[in-house]
């Protein structure tokens, strides 16, 4: 069973479109994250949610809007896609960060390509 699953695995779309990526974890974790990995392989935190509440928003354009319907799901919606949004987006989850950051488990990633 996949612990952290993301859909879709690949997403090819045109500039200006709106798209969503979904993430689900079955590990019983209560903290979920979105990371962006660019073409140079840099891994950068975008958002973090703890028990459905946003706790980190790292200077990400407001075209990116995360939503957490429950603590097992964290989706990412992107409006008006731009060329620079092309990257691999990783979802991750961990136990509560309340007592310090815990080991994070990553999904397989969503490779987003903007034409």
Partner 1 sequence: GENVEQHPSTLSVQEGDSAVIKCTYSDSASNYFPWYKQELGKRPQLIIDIRSNVGEKKDQRIAVTLNKTAKHFSLHITETQPEDSAVYFCAATNQAGTALIFGKGTTLSVSS
Site residues (vs partner 1, CB under 8 A): 33, 40-45, 48, 50, 55-56, 58, 90, 97, 100-101, 103-109
CB of 20 to partner 1, least distance (A): 20
The residues near 28 (Cβ < 8 Å, ≥ 6 apart) are none
| Shorter beta-carbon distance to partner 1: residue 3 or 15 | 3
| Shorter beta-carbon distance to partner 1: residue 16 or 42 | 42
The residues near 9 (Cβ < 8 Å, ≥ 6 apart) are 108, 109, 110, 111
CB of 22 to partner 1, least distance (A): 16
Distance CA 38, CA 41 (A): 5
Helix (H/G/I), strand (E/B), else coil: 101: coil
Are 18 and 80 within 8 A, CB to CB? yes
Distance CA 28, CA 36 (A): 23
| Shorter beta-carbon distance to partner 1: residue 26 or 79 | 26
CB of 84 to partner 1, least distance (A): 18
CB of 77 to partner 1, least distance (A): 21
| Shorter beta-carbon distance to partner 1: residue 15 or 43 | 43
């Amino acid at each position: 069973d996949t612990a952290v699953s993301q859909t879709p695995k690949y997403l090819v779309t045109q500039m200006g479109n709106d798209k969503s990526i979904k993430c689900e974890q079955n590990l019983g974790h209560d903290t979920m994250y979105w990371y962006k990995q660019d073409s140079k392989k840099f891994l950068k935190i975008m958002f973090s949610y703890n028990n459905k509440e946003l706790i980190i928003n790292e200077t990400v354009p407001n075209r990116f809007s995360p939503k957490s319907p429950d603590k097992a799901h964290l989706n990412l919606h992107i409006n008006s896609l731009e060329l620079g949004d092309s990257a691999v987006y990783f979802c991750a989850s961990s136990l509560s960060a309340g007592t310090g950051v815990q080991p994070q488990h990553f999904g397989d990633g969503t490779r987003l390509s903007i034409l």
